[in-house]
């Protein structure tokens, strides 16, 4: 008998193992049952969708005593082609165990966005199969038939004559003929019957302009192809490599050739040419018959980034990120599955696309927090990539100007991790000088402006000669909050324990956690005082004051544009690219934005970078605050002076003596680490320990508190039985953001020595634990923060 292991598509920790079903003898129908495909199976008194993760043949002698094979339920039918293979199934199971996540959530990572059928409850408790929300788009094309050239329509066949005349200019879609001539179905049927035209169905790729004459290539597995290759593609020019780049490329090629899953950390200053190293390493991998996956932080996935990879590898590049529509992402996923894609560029989810024979995985800006998933499974893309590479023999390349402390530590401890340094820019230009401006000393003991005298003068000088400037502010909105100067009242979100942010355009207050908004009051709702003061500086407020400043410098008719990029202005599709194009096209302009402008931007005429307030992240109650401050200053500084024009950087701060700011101003990582690492070791934080953050939340605060305290006791007992010295369970406490979207939040932190298996200790406890009705619990293994 042939048996299949099925993971049910029901997101609950209670279903913590695959279920066994029989593969029916007549399973070779329209869609055979294979590993990776979705199937419909009986489950209790209903049917459910599941994913096949294994198939095996068993004979009667192999059955355990007492198990009746006749009682094993058969699979009803397959409802999709395979989404993944055995390696994908193994990775899903590893993710579930490593990150204590439901099996179905892990398998879902490997399925096409919006392209999976699911069971939905209908009326009277009846369950029905709902088809995928997105799928392939087949267009009907009208092409000349064998009798086209000699055909002369009758004089009164006006519509036929119009269609034939239109086709003489080239092939057309039926939809285009309908738009031009109205209903054409009868005329087309007549012409098709006479052999004048043929009607063909062709796959259309959403979001990509494909010339009608270009047909998709046949994929290796016989599946329908998604995107054609260029007919006469000429790759972009390869610049000569510097000595450092050549050494990095040699280290990557050697690691890939050894096929043991090694990691190469490319530690290169901004502008050192890390991307060119990636491109040439990918080219070598492709020449060896492999494919490559390139991960880029979502905020760095700009049109500039994608263009560099497409310029080198043409139409063999697939792109996956969240700013694409569900249909566009499905098409790109299917393009990868077809085998026509050789390089995948995308955010962290691109790691799970069906790319075959991967020889190289590149993770750019590896220090970025966006590589950590914030919902189940709470994986870190770096750790998953290393696991995948060790299974397949691929090489992993981590690149950053500011590598994470964990990556640097791994290079010092693990012989399979290699550290290569690019200390100079590829064009030989020096790194821009960084000047720290102590805002506490401005204007004699406390600045009255958000722009220091030094920054004002620098803006006047650089913009005055037609150069560009970049200003970074790690906030959005007009001000952080409103405060009544009479009674101290601050408007707060009713669902989250945070103040509301004031937006000048529209005069409203909004919570950037849950989206709640209200009209900004003209007087204090508590005491009626009209004296409401705006505290903090959001991007809207900086933009407004900068506009006044520039108009004063150059006159209101100067037209120096201010391009603002934050989560508000880039929310629309294509907005990111449009704003960058607007900035690039201007003679002199200011790009004002949040962290999304700190990396990945390459403009030759940017000569000034200003950090309006470097203290925003530094003051967060998080153990990574100092590291993130250091990283952000160095990253944004690298936007200046990238070509022939010299650059300079001004960092405004009220903490001028803070080690991260002093170290960043001198590009001195050693200084930063000498200050930071002893604190991490003393307090017991990564890289010296591993952590799990157990989150507990619910609508009723007493219930959450009681559940958190009870959970702490259970965890302490489990850890005591499993671990030894160096293991600890901290007391249950409210989260820093204690209330979010109407739910109360507590957490428990578990720590263990870095060499121990934290997941193996916690997995049995949480698998046996019965869930509570009104309180939710989630485990974040290796959390990126504790907020």
Confidence of residue 480 (pLDDT cuts 50, 70, 90): low
pLDDT score of 708: 95
Of the candidates 5, 212, 243, 21, the residue with the CA atom closest to the CA atom of residue 107? 5
Neighbouring-strand partners of residue 746: 696, 734
Of the candidates 371, 321, 379, 328, the residue with the CA atom closest to the CA atom of residue 346? 321
Contacts with 609 (C-beta within 8 Å, 6 or more apart), sequence order = 432, 469, 470, 471, 472, 636, 637, 639, 640, 647, 648, 649, 650
pLDDT score of 226: 37
Is 84's pLDDT higher than 80?
yes
- CB 578 within 8 Å of CB 617: no
**Burial class of residue 725 (count of CB atoms within 10 Å of its CB; 0-12, 13-18, 19+):** exposed
The average pLDDT across 213-235 equals: 46
Is 484 known to sit in a ligand binding site? yes
Classified as helix, coil or strand, 129 is strand
pLDDT score of 233: 75
Is 178's pLDDT higher than 60?
yes
Contacts with 387 (C-beta within 8 Å, 6 or more apart), sequence order = 91, 94
In this structure, the dihedral spanned by the alpha carbons of residues 174, 175, 179 and 184, taken in order and rounded to 10 degrees, is: 40
Can you tell me which residue has the tokens 């260029």?
A: 230
Tokens of 729: 């369970």
SS3 for 184-223 is: CHHHHHHHHHCCCEEEEEEEECCCCCCCCCCCCCCCCCCC
Tokens of 628: 């993130």
Residues 637, 656: Cα–Cα separation, whole Å? 17
Residues 368, 347: Cα–Cα separation, whole Å? 11
Residues 682, 693: Cα–Cα separation, whole Å? 19
Is 514 known to sit in a ligand binding site? yes
Is 524 known to sit in a ligand binding site? yes
By DSSP bridging, strand 743-753 and strand 728-729 are antiparallel
Is 224's pLDDT higher than 90?
no
Tokens of 578: 């449009």
Contacts with 221 (C-beta within 8 Å, 6 or more apart), sequence order = 338, 339
pLDDT score of 446: 46
Is 68's pLDDT higher than 90?
no
**Burial class of residue 70 (count of CB atoms within 10 Å of its CB; 0-12, 13-18, 19+):** exposed
DSSP run (H or E) holding 738: strand 733-740
Confidence of residue 448 (pLDDT cuts 50, 70, 90): low
Distances (CA, A) of 223 to 107, 145, 204: 22, 27, 15
- CB 326 within 8 Å of CB 349: no
pLDDT score of 631: 93
Of the candidates 572, 574, 543, the residue with the CA atom closest to the CA atom of residue 560? 543
CA 604 to chain centre: 27
Q: What is the pLDDT of residues 390-405, one digit of tens each?
A: 999 999 999 999 999 9
Classified as helix, coil or strand, 701 is helix
The H-assigned helical ranges of 81-167 are 86-98, 103-108, 158-167
pLDDT score of 443: 57
Q: Note if the bond before 377 is cis, omega within 30 degrees.
A: yes
DSSP run (H or E) holding 781: strand 775-781
The CA-CA-CA angle for residues 735, 784, 659, to 5°, reads 95
Beta strands (DSSP E) in 584-721 are 590-593, 606-611, 648-653, 689-698
CA count, 13 A, side-chain hemisphere, 574: 2
Is 447's pLDDT higher than 80?
no
pLDDT score of 494: 86
By DSSP bridging, strand 343-346 and strand 172-173 are unpaired
Compute the radius of gyration of the chain from its Cα atoms: 30
Is 444's pLDDT higher than 70?
no
Is 483's pLDDT higher than 90?
no
The average pLDDT across 233-253 equals: 92
Classified as helix, coil or strand, 733 is strand
Classified as helix, coil or strand, 492 is strand
Mean pLDDT of the chain: 86
Is 106 known to sit in a ligand binding site? no
The most confident of the ranges 83-87, 229-233, 480-484, 579-583 is: 83-87
Segment among 178-182, 261-265, 445-449 with least mean pLDDT: 445-449
Q: What is the pLDDT of residues 146-165, one digit of tens each?
A: 999 889 888 888 889 989 88
Which DSSP category does 68 fall into?
Answer: -
The average pLDDT across 635-646 equals: 88
Is 697's pLDDT higher than 90?
yes
Residues 403, 672: Cα–Cα separation, whole Å? 13
Buried b (16+ CB within 10 A) or exposed e, 367-381: bbebbbbeebbbbbb
Is 478's pLDDT higher than 60?
no
The most confident of the ranges 17-31, 179-193, 746-760 is: 746-760
Residues 166, 154: Cα–Cα separation, whole Å? 16
Of the candidates 709, 704, 693, 691, the residue with the CA atom closest to the CA atom of residue 776? 704
Contacts with 625 (C-beta within 8 Å, 6 or more apart), sequence order = 617, 618, 619
pLDDT score of 210: 37
pLDDT score of 723: 75
pLDDT score of 541: 79
Q: Note if the bond before 249 is cis, omega within 30 degrees.
A: no
DSSP run (H or E) holding 484: strand 481-484
pLDDT exceeding 90 applies to what percent of the chain?
Answer: 49
């Amino acid at each position: 008998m042939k048996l299949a292991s099925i993971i049910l598509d029901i997101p609950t920790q209670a279903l913590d193992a695959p279920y066994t079903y029989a593969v029916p003898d007549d399973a070779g129908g329209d869609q055979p049952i294979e590993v990776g495909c979705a199937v419909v199976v009986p489950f209790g008194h209903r049917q459910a969708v599941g994913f096949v993760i294994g198939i095996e043949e068993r004979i009667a002698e192999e059955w355990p005593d007492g198990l009746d094979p006749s009682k094993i339920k058969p699979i009803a039918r397959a409802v999709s082609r395979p989404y993944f293979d055995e390696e994908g199934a193994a990775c899903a199971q590893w993710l579930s165990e490593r990150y204590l996540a439901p099996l179905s959530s892990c398998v879902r990572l490997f399925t096409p966005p919006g392209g999976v059928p699911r069971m939905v409850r209908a009326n009277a408790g009846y369950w029905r199969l709902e088809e995928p929300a997105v799928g392939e788009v087949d267009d009907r094309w009208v092409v000349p038939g064998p009798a086209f050239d000699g055909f002369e329509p009758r004089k009164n066949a006006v519509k036929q004559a119009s269609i034939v005349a239109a086709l003489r200019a080239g092939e057309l879609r039926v939809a285009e003929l309908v738009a031009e001539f109205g209903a054409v179905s009868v005329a087309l049927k007549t012409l098709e019957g006479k052999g004048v035209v043929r009607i063909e169905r062709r796959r259309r790729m959403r979001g990509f302009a494909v010339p009608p004459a270009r047909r998709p290539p046949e994929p290796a597995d016989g599946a329908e192809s998604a995107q054609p290759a260029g007919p006469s593609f000429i790759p972009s020019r390869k610049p000569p490599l510097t000595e450092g780049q050549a050494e990095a490329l040699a280290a990557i090629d050697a690691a890939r050739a050894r096929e043991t899953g090694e990691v190469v950390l490319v530690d290169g200053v901004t502008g050192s040419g890390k991307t060119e190293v990636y491109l040439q390493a990918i080219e070598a991998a492709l020449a060896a018959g492999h494919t490559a996956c390139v991960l880029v932080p979502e905020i760095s996935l700009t049109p500039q980034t994608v263009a560099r990879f497409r310029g080198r590898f043409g139409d063999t590049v697939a792109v996956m990120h969240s700013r694409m529509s569900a249909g566009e992402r499905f098409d790109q996923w299917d393009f990868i599955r077809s085998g026509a894609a050789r390089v995948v560029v995308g955010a962290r989810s691109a790691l799970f696309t069906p790319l075959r024979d991967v020889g190289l995985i590149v993770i750019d800006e590896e220090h970025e927090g966006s590589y950590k998933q914030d919902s189940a499974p709470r994986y870190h893309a770096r750790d998953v990539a290393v696991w995948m590479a060790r299974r397949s023999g691929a090489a992993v390349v981590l690149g950053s100007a500011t590598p994470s402390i964990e990556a640097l530590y791994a290079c010092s401890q693990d012989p399979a991790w290699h550290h290569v340094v690019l200390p100079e820019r590829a064009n030989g230009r020096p790194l821009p000088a960084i000047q720290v401006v102590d805002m506490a000393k401005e204007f004699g003991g406390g600045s009255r402006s958000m722009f220091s005298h030094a920054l004002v003068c620098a803006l006047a000088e650089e913009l005055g000669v037609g150069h560009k400037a970049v200003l970074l502010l790690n906030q959005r909105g007009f001000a952080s909050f409103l405060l009544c100067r009479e009674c101290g009242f601050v408007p707060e979100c009713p669902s989250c324990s945070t103040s509301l942010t004031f937006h000048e355009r529209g005069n409203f207050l909004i919570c950037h956690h849950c989206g709640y908004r209200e009209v900004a009051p003209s007087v204090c709702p508590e005491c009626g005082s009209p004296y409401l003061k705006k505290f903090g500086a959001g991007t809207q407020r900086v933009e407004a004051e900068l506009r006044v400043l520039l108009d004063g410098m150059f006159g209101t008719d100067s037209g120096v544009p201010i391009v603002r990029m934050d989560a508000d202005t880039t929310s629309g599709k294509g907005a990111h690219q449009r704003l960058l194009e607007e900035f690039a096209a201007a003679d002199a302009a200011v790009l004002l934005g949040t962290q999304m402008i700190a990396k990945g931007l390459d403009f030759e005429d940017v000569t000034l970078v200003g950090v309006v307030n470097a203290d925003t992240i530094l003051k967060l109650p998080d153990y990574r605050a100092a590291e993130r401050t250091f990283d952000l200053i160095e990253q944004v500084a690298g936007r200046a002076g990238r070509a022939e024009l010299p650059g300079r950087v001004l960092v405004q701060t009220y903490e001028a003596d803070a080690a991260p700011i002093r170290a960043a101003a001198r590009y001195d990582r050693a200084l930063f680490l000498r200050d930071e690492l002893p604190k991490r070791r003393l307090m017991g934080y990564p890289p010296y320990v591993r952590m799990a953050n157990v989150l507990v939340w619910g609508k009723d605060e007493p219930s959450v508190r009681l559940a958190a305290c009870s959970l702490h006791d259970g965890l302490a007992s489990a850890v005591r039985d499993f671990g030894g010295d160096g293991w600890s369970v901290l007391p249950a406490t409210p989260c820093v953001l204690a209330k979010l979207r109407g739910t109360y939040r507590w957490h428990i932190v578990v720590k263990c020595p870095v060499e121990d298996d934290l997941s193996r200790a916690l997995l049995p406890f949480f698998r046996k634990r019965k869930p509570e009705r009104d309180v939710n619990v989630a485990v974040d293994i290796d959390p990126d923060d504790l907020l």
